[in-house]
Structure 1
Amino acid sequence: MIIDPQRFREPAHGEDYEESQRYYTDDAMGDIDDACSDYPSRDLQRLLSEAARLIDIHDDGTSAYYESLDPDVVGTWVLGTSWHKPVSYDAENVGLMRDVLEHYRDVMRRASVYADNTYDDTWRLLNDENWLDTLCFSERQFAINSLRHPGLRRAAQALIERRRFRSRLCKHDSARQAQHSRLTPVDWPELFEPVEPTNDTGTYGRVLYEELPERLQDLIDEQSVLVIRCDSLNESEHSALTHAASKLIFGIDVSGKPATFEVFAGGLLRIPVIANRNLLKEIRSNLTVVYVFADYALVVEYPWRGMTGKARIASAESLEIQAFKNPALVPSTVTNDLLPCRFIVNRVEGLPTGRLDLWADDIPF
């Protein structure tokens, strides 16, 4: 049993993109409904429907997404901590859901390989209307793989069509600009209420999705937003707030110990990775930050993929372990192209702070 990928088609004449997306969603949900019809508990259908919705929303169109697709990540998105410790009522459905997600992952990884690496030339993929006719691979091997992975042909077709459509949309190089919106006090009055000053620098609050104004809920697909209150910024700094690129750098934290940082907004925003691993693990597609100024706010979504986030966190841990054993082994990080740090997130209210035990004070050197 497999959740088939949504069939991708371009909007018909007179049909907007949102209407076309509903076509794929309804179609995919129909497949899930059929697959679950034999089970007495309709909760399984609901869980798989939510999993399919989240997988689709946070698919960034790259093969890395499916290579990193982790059933445990998706299961946690849907069920939270109950995914790993389900109550007896949910235990059977969680087991079935895990089987479905693992099979889906295997099919989509193989389909992504076919979609990425086995066609002749990009221009043929973008212009030839025959989906798999442009691919160069052994039909015999493809037939064997299709028997091993039911739904493979349909999955490969869906990925090719998705990427063909996206390539036609991306006529401008806007990848360096993060999605952002400007908010006024009318949009979110509570955000602009006076706040008691504090000396606790580096500590920032977050607002959960359920507590956000309806207008902002319509804009984001994350579980929470990070709120940063700002003084006035100069023109170059304000422009940098919407830079999309992130970067992993190595430096010294506020306690004087080596640490890895995820850098956003051209260097203005820096997040120690290990101390904030709980925040980073919570992110699905974007780190959503609301910068609050005197009379307006800027909500920015920095791309940070939850599926590949585990690898980035592991890389940060590896760097810090190397620094603990022998600082000379750690490659120096070039930060000349980064703006001076204005906001460093040492702690997020409501989330426990992580640390590597090797930096504990009671460990002898």
Structure 2
Amino acid sequence: MKAEIITIGDELLNGQVVDTNSAWIAQHLGALHIPVVHITSISDKEHAIKNALRQAEERVDVIIMTGGLGPTRDDVTKVAVADYFGTTLIRNQAVLAHVEKIFRRAGRKNMPAMNIGQADVLANATVLFNDVGTAPGMAVERDGKYFAFLPGVPFEMKFLMENRVLPVLRDSYKSNVFVYNTYLLTVGIGESHLAEQIADIENALPPFITLSYLPKIGMVRLRFTGEGSDIETLTSITDSFKKQVMERVKDYVVSTDNRSFEEVLVQTFTASGVTLSTAESCTGGRISAQITAVTGASQMFQGAAVVYSNQAKMDVLRVSPDTLAQYGAVSEQTVKEMAEGAKRVFGTDYAIATSGIAGPGGGTETKPVGTVCIAVAGRSETRTQTFHFKNDRAINIERTVVAGLTMLWNILK
């Protein structure tokens, strides 16, 4: 049992909108052991829609199409799909009443004529009633294949998937092949060095287990994927290889599941009953933003000081004017005082401080663009380190965030 996702919209192709629907759908299909083997983005054109459906029907069993169900002239999905299936559109009175009710609830007495067309559905389809929007979904089953046509608006798509599509797939399209995914998150080791260290283990993997490297700046997530008909045996064998890798690179492993680095930090701090604050200059609050984006961060995060100017460093964190004059804002001496000042101001057990030249300007011969200093103050010591990144401002900031969190993790361990 395999699936394909087709997303419709010129806005996806020209980069105006990022396709988050496919990732969400793929995750939920994966939970049903229905792997997505193809994701296609196409324009709002009838021929593109019909060609995509034809190709998908040849290679997979489940086709999920999103987008193009709105009321405007460029929403041509229903017309194209009706032609593809050799059927017509009929007006569904229950859907029409629902759309009219939504307009009355919004205080609009006259509903535009174009919205009436949203009640038109495929004559051969099962209507997927949309409680949270005006565009209904539709499902068609043909020759053992399942087609679902859903709105592109993310919250409407998710509602229909969770309440209309996934229950059908769960009951009627169960796969005989199970897909089991398990993860390791490593920090502080590059992808090539990691691959070199575990090459013999990777070479010993049986054909039904694959290992994928999912790198980001400063970290690599490993995904072990096993496919087989016996889920218990599959889980046991896959986990045994995961344990081998985990033991080999244990100094770099921060998570044995699919959590983010920030989630691991928040949960570790919370479980240990310790607290954190930040003092940020070149990162401009990015570290605190990533920490507080995690549910439960309020249990361990106390506050942040974004101190961009020297005056702010002195006024808020009591960084010594002599330190700034002698060593400069971008120095290990200054970030040490910043981190210890944040600990004192916010009353925390740990604090991270950053100061650097993110670029593209501001560098000097002795401190070129990309020079960043980070300090982490812990319960009994403060560690400092200077990094030399490159010339891209956004990447320098991202690298600084990861480096700071990695230093925090190391001192916490």
| Superposition TM-score, scaled by structure 2 size | 0.24
Larger fraction in strand: 2
Instruction: Answer with 1 or 2: which has the greater Rg.
Output: 2
| Superposition TM-score, scaled by structure 1 size | 0.26
